[in-house]
Amino acid sequence: MNTSINRLNSTPVIQENKALSLLTWSLISIIFILTIIVNSVSLDNLDVSFRSLITLGICAVAWLHGTKRYGVKNMVVFFVITWIVSNSFEALSIHTGFPFGNYHYTIPGPRILEVPLIIMPGYFGMGYMAWTLSHILNGQYSKKIQGIQIFFVPLVASFIMVMWDIVMDPIAATINKVWIWQNGGAYFGVPISNYFGWFFVVFVFLQIFAIFISRHDTRESANNFNKLFWLEATAVYGIQGLSYLLQSIISSGNKEIYSSMGLISVFTMIFVTILSAISISNSTEFNYINKQTNSIQKKVSV
């Protein structure tokens, strides 16, 4: 009797998750379309606006995915930790050169301690994608993070996050001048210290969250998280990798930088995307989830 009641109670959750999944994949589709447009058509003054929409779209996907997995309160904590740590170190580096190097932003808009507000969504959105991909590659999926995984997940996620910056920074800084490295740098005009700084900062805020969520994750059950759920983050990260490949093919100027970033994206971001998709496909954890979901749906139909 109790089992039947539990199954019936699970039905609204499954239906809600389907609606959220539809919304999330709709956003991912919009991100994909905007990415194709931005990297295929000359938009002049609208380019920044479209790229801002993509960034906000990634944040929206991160929020939907994260609140479904961890709950609203825990995602607020993730957002606050990411904001405070990233903004603090960005401001510190602008004024002292540590940990990234000496630089300043050129983009307009409101700022906190000389750091534009639009920078924060990049840390939050892509930081969460890297966090989720690390769970996939570590075989964590919906398991509560504990033991050595409290260290391994943020460590791997930091590498995944820096892979994005390796192809993003030379284009954003050296070509588009979104920020200016005052002394240039050995890597297409970007100082090597920037990447070690990125790794350090990302690891700090993800490690803090890993310790926090290991104690406050109340959603240990994997029953409501299927393969499509985990493919959401994989798709978003892959679309970002694809954007740099598209730029390398379509762009006519600065071919050395664009071509190099396109090549690097294939063997970093796109490789991680493929590896994550294979890991999801090969996982046996979802066989149990699918059987349980089908059992509930059959029970309700009867």
> What is the C-alpha end-to-end distance of the chain, expressed in Å?
15
How many other C-beta atoms lie within 10 A of the C-beta of residue 298?
Answer: 10
CB atoms under 10 Å from CB of 30, counted, come to: 15
Residue 297 has a pLDDT of 47
The DSSP letter of residue 144 is P
* Token pair recorded at residue 262: 């396109």
Q: Which residue has the tokens 């509930």?
A: 296
Name the residue among 59, 52, 66 with its Cα closest to residue 121: 59
At residue 50, the pLDDT reads 82
pTM score over 0.85: yes
β pairing state of 115-116 and 103-105? unpaired
Residue 300 is predicted with a pLDDT of: 43
Count of CB atoms within 10 A of residue 184's CB?
A: 14
Of 94, 101, 119, 100, which is closest to residue 109 (Cα–Cα)? 119
Alpha-helical segments (H) within the chain: 2-38, 46-70, 72-96, 119-137, 149-169, 193-216, 227-250, 255-267, 269-282, 285-301
Give the Cα separation of 139 and 225 in Å (integer).
Answer: 14
Backbone angles phi, psi at 177, to 5 degrees: 60, 35
Q: Are 97 and 194 in contact (CB under 8 A)?
A: no
pLDDT along the chain (302 residues), means of 10: 46 67 95 91 68 93 95 96 97 97 93 92 96 95 89 98 98 94 96 98 98 86 76 98 94 92 98 97 71 47 48
Other CB atoms closer than 10 Å to residue 56's CB: what's the count? 15
Q: How many Å apart are CA 41 and CA 137, to the nearest integer?
A: 35
Cα–Cα distance measured from residue 230 to residue 247, given in angstroms and rounded to the nearest whole number: 27
So what's the pLDDT on residue 6? 46
pLDDT of residue 174: 96
Query: Angle 259-171-253 (CA atoms, 0-180°, nearest 5)?
Result: 55
